[in-house]
Amino acid sequence: MTAQQPSAKRPPIALTCGEPAGVGPELAIKAAHLMQGRVPFFWIGDPRHLPVGTPFAEITDPAQTYDVPTGILPVLCHEFVAPAEPGEANLNNAQGVIDVIARAAELVQSGHASAMCTAPINKKILKDGADFAYPGHTEFLAHLGGTDHVVMMLACPELRVVPTTIHIALADVPAQFTPDLLEQTIRITAADLARHWGITAPRIAIAGLNPHAGEGGAMGHEELDWMIPLLNKLRAQGFDLKGPMPPDTMFHSKARKAYDVAICAYHDQALIPIKTIDFDGGVNVTLGLPFIRTSPDHGTAMDIAGQGIANPTSLIAALNMAWDMATRSAPNISA
């Protein structure tokens, strides 16, 4: 076995353990094996949570990732209160899950990691077990990054989608889907598509809130009242915006070719199409943060945890995307 590519001296990616009783630990082992060091990453978690008998190498500093033989998972130990039983979440481990996310964010913000990639968490377990005050990574990382507003984008080779409102009840969407929020979301999305993907003038499709984008006021008024005026204002400033588009007809294959990203009003309007088109290959990326964060698009999959059948494709895509973003964003530290 050879050590991981020593020529790539950029700091490695920090991969969090996520929910220890979910598929995160076994996917980390699979990704290390399948990626064979092409993207350097280390896992932060408790080695007791890894599948019994699988190889890993303990490290004490992220830079030691490069000394670990390819195919073996480098592990930066983070001791949890309890072992993990696949499929059986333990509330006592909730604080450890949160602490690992914060530790990864600290490592990336201090330059010891190039980016962070997060394995899935169960928000309710974190709330019940440790009073977690955030509905997801996205909001917690905005807090850790000191930013007021970040954007959730999910991407696969066929489609990019953004939910403007994120983890809120459907009943709260009409009040929280505001002109200010949509404008900030459009600006952050356009800026980060240019910065990280080189799409300097992104074609942005905006979904209407209502069926048929309101049908001229017959099925809702938000489009007429403020969405169309806002889009016209931003068009005058140079943004390439389509819509408000009828949400049900904007995701078929021909329609998708007309835009680089679809900005939707709420979570499921955006995430249902992408998880239907490419559940295995989708990546969740947070835009507007002062550091890079990606994640697989799936959840903890407790129903299959520990069975060895979890598909690592989305995690591998998330690690690849994080590394590509880091490579484009900053010079190689050895240069």
Ligand X SMILES: N[C@H](C(=O)O)[C@H](O)COP(=O)(O)O
Nearest to 250 by CA among 259, 241, 238: 259
Min separation Cβ 133 and ligand X, Å: 13
Q: Which of residues 91-150 bind ligand X (CB under 6 A)?
A: 136-138
Residue 322 in contact with residue 113, Cβ under 8 Å?
Answer: no
271 binds ligand X (CB under 6 A): yes
278 binds ligand X (CB under 6 A): no
Token pair for residue 232?
Answer: 């016209």
Rounded to 10°, the helix 24-35/313-329 angle is: 60
Alpha-carbon span 15 to 138, nearest angstrom: 15
Min separation Cβ 196 and ligand X, Å: 17
Q: Which amino acid is present at 13?
A: I
Instruction: State which residue, 86 or 136, has the beta carbon closest to ligand X.
Output: 136
Min separation Cβ 226 and ligand NAD, Å: 31
ω into residue 244 within 30 of 0, thus cis? yes
Tell me which residue has its CB nearest to ligand X. 136
Residue 162 in contact with residue 264, Cβ under 8 Å?
Answer: yes
Nearest to 45 by CA among 35, 36, 32, 132: 32
The item of ligand NAD, ligand X, none sharing an interface with residue 186, based on CB under 5 to 8 Å by kind, is none
Give the Å distances, CA to CA, from 16 to 63, 79, 111, 141, 189: 16, 13, 16, 13, 25
Q: Which of residues 280-319 bind ligand NAD (CB under 6 A)?
A: 284, 295, 298-301, 303-304, 310-311
Question: Is 298 annotated in some ligand binding site?
Answer: no
The item of ligand X, ligand NAD, none sharing an interface with residue 269, based on CB under 5 to 8 Å by kind, is none
Question: Is 48 annotated in some ligand binding site?
Answer: no
Instruction: State which residue, 10 or 293, has the beta carbon closest to ligand NAD.
Output: 293
Question: Is 267 annotated in some ligand binding site?
Answer: yes
Min separation Cβ 137 and ligand NAD, Å: 6
Residue 262 in contact with residue 162, Cβ under 8 Å?
Answer: yes
Min separation Cβ 156 and ligand NAD, Å: 14
122 binds ligand NAD (CB under 6 A): yes
Rounded to 10°, the helix 228-236/179-197 angle is: 40
- Known binding positions for a divalent metal cation: 167, 212, 267
Q: Interface with ligand X by CB under 6 A: which residues?
A: 136-138, 271, 284, 295, 297
Binding region: 137-138, 167, 212, 267, 275, 284, 293
